[in-house]
Chain A
């Protein structure tokens, strides 16, 4: 019987049976997060509509619900009704809406289901409204009532409870590091090549995306090879190595602070000078830019992307690259959280110009690049997967227009989406990290005879 086997979705039940206490929890968290700029935003959107053409959801799908100003207004309407003078009295006149079950459903559909938090609307907003920031605040308000879509929340909780977002047991992480160390020795021909773990006083603490040890360890090998070639003093942590932070996506600041705080503490415990973040867009935005606010402290030590570290090696002549080792035409994807929202823009280009023969930019690129569609927790939220792949069409077209055979992205989340886009749109491209390309171009120092 079809009915008997129809899948039951407890999340829908929860949305159907919201209580007054749930609504109060949402409002309390929303209120807590409103500062002057957010309040000002309620009055400054002039409905110019420029944000519509900034959004990859709107550009591929074209529904009103996809327009960033519409998503913004879902949030601002509630702010006006509940927190601003005049909102309750002037009601519909100023676009105020009381938070109720129907509004919560619209929030979930638009703020979780039609936004990857890429910030392209924000940088194109004529009034300078932090649109993606307000959307994240509203996600956080939903999180306060336990209303994050469960597939996304599960990745947050796996990280919080098990120390990394894929639930990798410590001994399996260490066994994989050991294995990659063997591969490093084989590739470099140096039996003394090492991948240090928990080494006190190392200059760099390096962090990675758990999907690298779990399923795609070639990027670990590439980074180890780079550090080896540079003669770097570096280390992994045996238990705090996860650079990701799905709290950024769920909007939950307390989880987000806890996750970034672990890396900060690991650096302190090991006495490393620099916390180096692996190729992860949202992990970079989280720990480099947001974490000081989440943790309410100044760091006083450098937090760098591995791209910045690698570019320093090349500039200082600590490593030598031979671009003839990468002959295939190659293009670069700019992860939103690393580039538009993270400020790491030129380092990856400098590396590629030195590491490949035929580097082709996509159009548009850098801060104005389109999101691949995989950010904002979209990769985790299976219920919105169709929209994610449809919204990735722009990126697929950008890639195809370059004629490149290889796409590189300094972000494992983007890499997963780009791989799926390759399959969905028949691109036939190979997808790699920037450091993998750099490692392929390394001219290794000759061993002493």
Chain B
């Protein structure tokens, strides 16, 4: 089982790098995942706007938001979302926000 270490804590990831227990997520974990999974050394305010919105949406509705809602809330154009998260909204942004892997062709 792959794991990720952050400040002495060891969290389990599934075979695709998603947190096994989404409830363990913190913003520090997002940073660690960004480095480990997306090769991002730092997260910009735009990254955080996307990650925080996805996380809040997930905590309320237990599912990932549409990319439409992400763009609308953060005021970021669609193409910029793909630039910010090279693995895409699901395997990039949702993963860093600590969501479980969505169903479907992702």
Contact B104 A210 (CB under 8 A): yes
Give the chain B neighbours of A416 by CB distance below 8 A. 91, 105-106
Chain A: interface residue total (CB-CB under 8 A): 38
A382 to B15, CA, bound (A): 6
Say yes or no: A419-B88 contact (C-beta < 8 A), given A216-B67, A382-B15. yes
Give the chain A neighbours of B64 by CB distance below 8 A. 214
Q: Does B63 contact A (CB under 8 A)?
A: yes
Give the chain B neighbours of A213 by CB distance below 8 A. 66, 68
Say yes or no: A215-B67 contact (C-beta < 8 A), given A165-B103, A167-B103. yes
Contact B106 A379 (CB under 8 A): yes
Partner of B16, one of A6, A165, A211, A385: A385
Smallest CB-CB separation from A172: which chain B residue? B66
**Looking at chain B's contact residues, is the secondary structure mostly helix, strand, loop, or mixed?**
loop
Q: Does A176 contact B (CB under 8 A)?
A: yes
A167 to B86, CA, bound (A): 24
Q: Does B56 contact A (CB under 8 A)?
A: no
CB distance from B43 to the nearest CB of A (A): 18
Q: Does A51 contact B (CB under 8 A)?
A: no
Q: Does B87 contact A (CB under 8 A)?
A: yes
For chain A, residues 56 to 115, give those with C-beta under 8 angstroms from any C-beta of chain B.
none
Contact A176 B105 (CB under 8 A): no
Contact A218 B86 (CB under 8 A): no
Contact A385 B102 (CB under 8 A): no
Contact B15 A217 (CB under 8 A): no
Q: Does B20 contact A (CB under 8 A)?
A: yes
Contact B66 A423 (CB under 8 A): no
A7 to B18, CA, bound (A): 13
A335 to B75, CA, bound (A): 36
CB distance from B19 to the nearest CB of A (A): 11
A151 to B106, CA, bound (A): 12
Smallest CB-CB separation from A423: which chain B residue? B87
Smallest CB-CB separation from B102: which chain A residue? A166
Give the chain B neighbours of A209 by CB distance below 8 A. 104-105
Q: Interface 1/0s, chain A 393-421, versus B by CB < 8 A?
A: 00000000000000000001100100110
Contact B15 A413 (CB under 8 A): no
A169 to B77, CA, bound (A): 23
Partner of B15, one of A154, A158, A385: A385
Contact B88 A215 (CB under 8 A): yes
Q: Does A297 contact B (CB under 8 A)?
A: no
Chain B: interface residue total (CB-CB under 8 A): 27
Say yes or no: A215-B103 contact (C-beta < 8 A), given A7-B20, A172-B66, A382-B16. no
Partner of A158, one of B67, B86, B103: B103
Give the chain A neighbours of B20 by CB distance below 8 A. 7
A384 to B15, CA, bound (A): 8
Q: Does A312 contact B (CB under 8 A)?
A: no
Contact B67 A214 (CB under 8 A): yes
Smallest CB-CB separation from A5: which chain B residue? B12
Contact B67 A217 (CB under 8 A): yes
CB distance from B9 to the nearest CB of A (A): 11
Contact B66 A214 (CB under 8 A): yes
CB distance from B76 to the nearest CB of A (A): 14
Contact B104 A166 (CB under 8 A): yes
Give the chain A neighbours of B87 by CB distance below 8 A. 419-420, 423
Contact B67 A155 (CB under 8 A): no
> What 10 A-B pairs come out closest when comparing CB atoms?
A385-B15, A166-B104, A215-B89, A155-B103, A413-B105, A158-B103, A165-B104, A176-B68, A385-B16, A215-B67
Residues of A that sit less than 8 Å from B by CB? 5-7, 151, 154-155, 158, 165-168, 172, 175-176, 179, 209-211, 213-218, 244, 379-380, 382-386, 412-413, 416, 419-420, 423
In the complex, 16 of the A-B residue pairs with CB atoms within 8 angstroms, ordered by the A residue number, are: A166-B103, A167-B103, A210-B104, A211-B90, A213-B68, A215-B66, A215-B67, A216-B88, A218-B78, A218-B79, A244-B104, A244-B105, A382-B16, A416-B91, A419-B88, A420-B91
Residues of B that sit less than 8 Å from A by CB? 1, 12, 14-16, 18, 20, 63-64, 66-69, 78-79, 86-91, 101-106
